[in-house]
Amino acid sequence: SQKIEQNSEALNIQEGKTATLTCNYTNYSPAYLQWYRQDPGRGPVFLLLIRENEKEKRKERLKVTFDTTLKQSLFHITASQPADSATYLCALARQAGTALIFGKGTTLSVSS
Amino acid sequence: DTEVTQTPKHLVMGMTNKKSLKCEQHMGHRAMYWYKQKAKKPPELMFVYSYEKLSINESVPSRFSPECPNSSLLNLHLHALQPEDSALYLCASSQGVAGGPLDYNEQFFGPGTRLTVL
């Protein structure tokens, strides 16, 4: 069955450093991958979408890479701030559709 | 308006009650979704509506009954729930539908309804 793993449940870093979150998947060949941010008690918020034929995508301090050979995506936040503290979820869509399967998420804590 | 609204924010119900969750979006999105999220777990897909028609049912028990009265509204009717159904119920919408351009596949989530079944 399709499986998505986010290696770290929790990641603690200092303000100003780069946070790197990992998402691995198996038994799947997704057309694209998405990253979402979720704050406690709130719905996820879309951050970035990267297609299977894209190696890297950037948005302000965020960078996502997608390696379909390794079946892995890396999500980077540069110059991290305490306001970046949240749970980050990677998500794959099944088949060619829009129904998402989410990884368990990584909770990032940025200390000042 | 880029917002998905959900009502109520909180709901407590007994196992014999019938209640409904409501979701609304005015972004002209053609797909709408219900997810269930337990504490410390990721959202799990329950249903997908595409062009107001149910396109995916993730083998959800019949005590959960979705309804899409029009392109802006999505309801989830609840009946004879179990305590283990207590969770955050999230509604989402997307402009993109299955087979369409990927650029429109970001999902906009509502704040959720916190459901407690006694």
Q: How many CB atoms lie within 10 A of CB A42?
A: 15
DSSP string, B3-48: -EEEE-SEEEE-TT-EEEEEEEE-S--SEEEEEEE-TTS--EEEEE
pLDDT in tens, A98-112: 788 999 999 999 999
Q: How many CB atoms lie within 10 A of CB A104?
A: 17
Please state, in angstroms and rounded to a whole number, the distance separating the CA atoms of residues A109 and A59: 20
Mean local confidence (pLDDT), B39-58: 92
pLDDT value of residue B98? 73
Q: How many residues does chain B have?
A: 118
pLDDT in tens, B78-116: 999 999 999 999 999 998 877 777 777 899 999 999 999
* B31 contact residues in A (CB cutoff 8 A): 98
Contact B46, B35 (CB under 8 A): yes
Please state, in angstroms and rounded to a whole number, the distance separating the CA atoms of residues A105 and A92: 13
- Residues of chain B above pLDDT 90, percent: 83
How far off is chain A from B51, nearest CA to CA, in Å?
A: 13
pLDDT value of residue B94? 92
pLDDT category of residue B56 using cuts at 50, 70 and 90: confident
pLDDT in tens, A13-70: 999 999 999 999 988 888 889 999 999 999 999 999 998 889 999 999 999 999 999 9
- Amino acid type, A80: S
pLDDT category of residue A3 using cuts at 50, 70 and 90: confident
Q: Which of A1, A20, A5 is nearest to A72 (CA)?
A: A5
* Cβ <8 Å between B102 and A101: no
Residue A55: strand pairing partners: none
B105 touching A, CB under 8 A? yes
Please state, in angstroms and rounded to a whole number, the distance separating the CA atoms of residues B46 and A59: 31
* Cβ <8 Å between A43 and B110: yes
pLDDT value of residue A30? 84
**Three-class secondary structure of residue A82 per DSSP:** helix
Instruction: Choose the weakest-confidence range: A51-55, A78-82, B7-11.
Output: A51-55
